[in-house]
Amino acid sequence: MSPRAGLDKQTLVLAAAELADELGMEGVTLAQLAARLGVRSPSLYNHVNGLKELRTLLAVFGLEQLYAVMSASLVGVSGEAAVHAISRAYVTFAQQHPGLYDTTLQAPEQGNAELEEAGARTLQLIISVLSGYELGRTGELHAVRGLRSILHGFAALRNKGGFGMPLDLEDSLTRLIDSYIAGIGCMRTGD
Amino acid sequence: MSPRAGLDKQTLVLAAAELADELGMEGVTLAQLAARLGVRSPSLYNHVNGLKELRTLLAVFGLEQLYAVMSASLVGVSGEAAVHAISRAYVTFAQQHPGLYDTTLQAPEQGNAELEEAGARTLQLIISVLSGYELGRTGELHAVRGLRSILHGFAALRNKGGFGMPLDLEDSLTRLIDSYIAGIGCMRTGD
DNA sequence: TAATATAAACTAATAGTATTAGTTTTTCAA
DNA sequence: TTGAAAAACTAATACTATTAGTTTATATTA
């Protein structure tokens, strides 16, 4: 009567990611996920420790995907073009995977090793893009904070419909990155 | 047996805002709110149409508060100082009212008149701060999008603990706004 | 190959959430 | 003072997560 659905952690996370992008982050429930996988919800506990762990796994998965597209965007480009490329990759990912993108920030379980590792890798990638500007050790960190703020803010506002005006969004992002690069000297420190 | 708790919409929203800041947005439940107000949860339906409407009211309330502190930050300042002032006001509000701030963006009911009105007023305020830069009609809109992205991104990442590094946050924000101003010419259009 | 152990499914039950329907009771106004 | 409206209530339904305990399929091992 129960011919083994053959589930595992990976399958759950992939299905949950679909759910997130289709229904939004709040649509990721164990009940929904179980229904989609053709199983009763308590069965999911054989593979995952509950909703909280599922959300953490989803966050790690999302960060890995995000890292992948950002990293891929950098092949063969450098300097200003690299800043633009990684920015477009970030925002495009957030647009194409709105639910999954949301989970990457609503980190429910802090202190999680994999989560912090995935975050740290992304950080390093952004640092590498900015290394050409000779910003200094702490200046580099200010600059990374700045770029992350810009990218998350733009992505989130666009995804939530925060930009009401009928004005080209690509153009807005390009200009915002251009202005960031133009003013990047303000980040420079002497260390 | 039920001596009239004397509730009204205003009271509910104020209590819900406290709840939001204490427990986070997901802690704003009708059950929690009813308990805090000393009433059974169905009683809340006499004043509010359900959780969705409560969230919308909370969003409007939050936007009004945000507008108030941004507006207050501008008295007696102009030019670059005004950009810094409104930015600090925005980010400080988000820090002091993390739950309420979150509700202002998770707009559940789009097409809501009050919500759009509150958003539009905030938009106008930011535009007024940037009007001295002669950016052109659409340039101004690009610039507003940019500043909003920066402010929301910075506020959200800080509130969610996204900035792990032990590096002064005030300094990061100041530099980010300085760099925004330094590069604002990239927003300029000829209209 | 057959027996057994493990793991993955299940059912049943509990507790929390929103919401609706219908009832009581307070309060205000005619 | 009587009556109507509003604000509380209880009861019930339908979701959600989660735990406990049971069955059964699969894999391992004798």
Min distance B9 CA to chain A CA atoms (Å): 26
**What pLDDT sits at residue A157?**
97
Name the residue type at position A57.
L
B104-160 confidence digits (pLDDT tens): 998 666 678 888 899 999 999 999 999 999 999 999 999 999 999 999 999 999 999
Q: Give me the domain span that covers residue B178.
A: 59-187
Separation of A37 CA and D23 C1' (Å): 21
Tell me the pLDDT band of A45, cut-offs 50, 70 and 90: very high
Tell me the pLDDT band of A2, cut-offs 50, 70 and 90: low
Give the integer Cα–Cα distance in Å for B160 and A37: 31
B3-37 confidence digits (pLDDT tens): 788 899 999 999 999 999 999 999 999 999 999 99
B153 domain-assigned: yes
A172 domain-assigned: yes
Surface-to-core class of residue B4, CB atoms within 10 Å of its CB (0-12 exposed, 13-18 middle, 19+ buried): exposed
**What pLDDT sits at residue A166?**
78
**What pLDDT sits at residue A186?**
97
> Do residues B179 and A146 touch, judged by C-beta distance below 8 A?
yes
Would the Cβ of B40 be found within 7 angstroms of any atom in strand D? yes
A40 domain-assigned: no
Tell me the pLDDT band of A1, cut-offs 50, 70 and 90: very low
Give the pLDDT mean for B58-68.
97
Closest by CA to A183, choosing from A127, A135, A124, A123, is A135
**What pLDDT sits at residue B152?**
98
Would the Cβ of B113 be found within 7 angstroms of any atom in strand C? no
Name the domain count of chain B. 1
A151 domain-assigned: yes
Q: How far is CA A80 from the centre of its chain?
A: 22
B64-119 confidence digits (pLDDT tens): 999 999 999 999 999 999 999 999 999 999 999 999 999 999 866 667 888 889 99
Q: Do A149 and B153 touch (CB under 8 A)?
A: yes
A43 domain-assigned: no
Of B150, B164, B182, the CB nearest to A150: B150
Would the Cβ of B5 be found within 7 angstroms of any atom in strand D? yes
What are the distances in angstroms from CA B44 to CA B19, B21, B27, B50? 15, 20, 16, 8
Does the CA dihedral A111-A115-A117-A122 come out positive or negative?
negative
A128-186 confidence digits (pLDDT tens): 999 999 999 999 999 999 999 999 999 999 999 889 877 899 999 999 999 999 999 99
Query: Which residue does chain B place closest to A169, by CA atoms?
Result: B142
**What pLDDT sits at residue A6?**
86
Q: Which positions in chain B have a beta carbon within 8 angstroms of at least one beta carbon in chain A?
A: 105-107, 110, 116, 119, 138, 141-142, 145-146, 148-154, 156-157, 160-165, 167, 171-172, 175-176, 178-187
Tokens 């939530």 identify what position?
Answer: A160
Of A107, A145, A179, the CB nearest to B183: A179
A39 domain-assigned: no
Q: Which residues of chain B neighbour A151 with C-beta distances below 8 Å?
A: 153
CATH of the domain at B166: 1.10.357.10
Chain C bases under 7 Å from protein CB? 7-13, 16-22, 25-27
- Whether residue B49 is predicted with pLDDT greater than 80 in this model: the reply is yes
A90-125 confidence digits (pLDDT tens): 999 999 999 999 999 986 666 788 888 999 999 999
B111 domain-assigned: yes
- Whether residue B1 is predicted with pLDDT greater than 50 in this model: the reply is no
Surface-to-core class of residue A87, CB atoms within 10 Å of its CB (0-12 exposed, 13-18 middle, 19+ buried): buried
A51-95 confidence digits (pLDDT tens): 999 999 999 999 999 999 999 999 999 999 999 999 999 999 999
A6 domain-assigned: no
Q: Do B154 and A156 touch (CB under 8 A)?
A: no
Would the Cβ of A110 be found within 7 angstroms of any atom in strand C? no
Chain D bases under 7 Å from protein CB? 6-12, 15-21, 24-26
Q: Which residues of chain A neighbour B112 with C-beta distances below 8 Å?
A: none
Residues 6+ apart with CB under 8 A from B5: B37, B38, B39, B43
